[in-house]
């Protein structure tokens, strides 16, 4: 059966109760701020005005996302491949969702809100000491924040050593791209790719 409306959905899933229902806040509290300041990684989700979806990983040193106050975050837009899919979506819709992770912690933090792209020096100066300072920043106004339970990461055993695989179990990025898009370029080894990326971190 294809679920086509909310009535059908709620016949399958009960309504949230207790803490799950009331844990959503419109600003950051001390626990959310502490979580963000200890996080070296998040995923941002955006959508274009045509509904094209995008999810993009962002990483840096612990606390690389700056908390300005209880409703404002600044994310540096680190050097990438210039596709700028998420940036374009933010310009078009000014909406963003984020999921913060901390290695070794199974709980995650979800922060949603409005966003814009800024080249204001007051933001860029926060990241001036980085090896490759950003050209722009994502400034988020928090509209919704809540802690997400540990079940997904517990099920996946994401941080467990026995969940890790050898990188050699997957083809190199160079090989996968060669298979996908062809071309006459020599296939880059994993070691060559890592060395090249190190310059852009």
Question: Taking the domains of the chain in order of start, what are their residue ranges?
Answer: 13-156, 167-198
Give yes or no for a contact between 177 and 133, defined as CB atoms under 8 angstroms apart.
Answer: no
How does residue 115 score in pLDDT terms, banded at 50, 70 and 90? Answer: very high
Mean pLDDT to the nearest integer, 10-19: 91
Can you list the positions of beta strands (E) in 52-176?
53-59, 66-69, 72-76, 95-101, 108-118, 137-148
Reply yes or no on whether the pLDDT at 199 is more than 90: no
Mean pLDDT to the nearest integer, 122-130: 93
How many angstroms separate the CA atoms of 168 and 4, rounded? 42
Mean pLDDT to the nearest integer, 15-36: 93
What are the backbone dihedrals phi and psi of residue 46, each rounded to the nearest 5 degrees, phi first? -145, 170
Mean pLDDT to the nearest integer, 179-196: 89
Reply yes or no on whether the pLDDT at 20 is more than 90: no
User: What is residue 134's DSSP assignment?
Assistant: -
Q: Which residue has the higher pLDDT, 117 or 196?
A: 117
Q: For tokens 């990983």, what's the residue? A: 57
How many angstroms separate the CA atoms of 129 and 126, rounded? 8
**Which span out of 18-27, 30-39, 123-132 was modeled with the highest average pLDDT?**
30-39
Vertex 133 angle, CA 45 and 109, to 5°: 30
- The confidence score (pLDDT) of residue 106 equals 98
Q: Which of 13-17, 109-113, 155-159 is least confident?
A: 13-17
> Domain 13-156 belongs to what architecture?
Roll (2.30)
Compute CA distances 137 → 44, 73, 176, 201, whole Å: 13, 10, 31, 16
Give yes or no for a contact between 71 and 116, defined as CB atoms under 8 angstroms apart.
Answer: no
Summarize pLDDT for 73-111 with one digit per residue, the tens: 999 999 888 999 999 999 999 999 999 999 999 999 999
Share the mean pLDDT of the chain.
94
Reply yes or no on whether the pLDDT at 113 is more than 90: yes
Mean pLDDT to the nearest integer, 33-49: 98
How many angstroms separate the CA atoms of 171 and 72, rounded? 40
Compute CA distances 169 → 165, 172, 181, 198, whole Å: 7, 9, 21, 22
Mean pLDDT to the nearest integer, 152-157: 96
The pTM score is 0.93
């Amino acid at each position: 059966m294809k679920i086509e409306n909310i009535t059908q959905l709620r016949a399958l899933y009960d309504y949230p109760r207790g803490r799950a229902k009331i844990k959503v806040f419109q600003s950051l509290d001390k626990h959310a701020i502490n979580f963000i300041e200890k996080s070296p990684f998040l995923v941002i989700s955006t959508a274009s005005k045509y509904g094209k979806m995008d999810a993009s990983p962002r990483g840096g040193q612990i606390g690389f996302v700056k908390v300005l106050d209880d409703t404002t975050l600044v994310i540096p837009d680190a050097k990438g491949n210039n596709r700028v899919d998420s940036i374009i979506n933010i310009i078009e819709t000014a909406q963003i969702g984020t999921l913060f992770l901390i290695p070794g912690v199974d709980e995650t933090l979800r922060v949603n809100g409005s966003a814009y792209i800024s080249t204001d020096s007051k933001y860029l100066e926060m990241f001036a000491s980085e090896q490759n300072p950003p050209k722009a920043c994502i400034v988020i106004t928090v509209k919704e924040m809540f802690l997400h339970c540990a079940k997904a990461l517990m099920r996946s055993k994401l941080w467990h050593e026995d969940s890790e695989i050898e990188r050699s179990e997957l083809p190199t990025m160079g090989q996968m791209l060669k298979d996908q898009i062809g071309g006459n370029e020599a296939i880059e080894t994993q070691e060559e790719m890592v060395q090249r990326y190190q310059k852009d971190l």
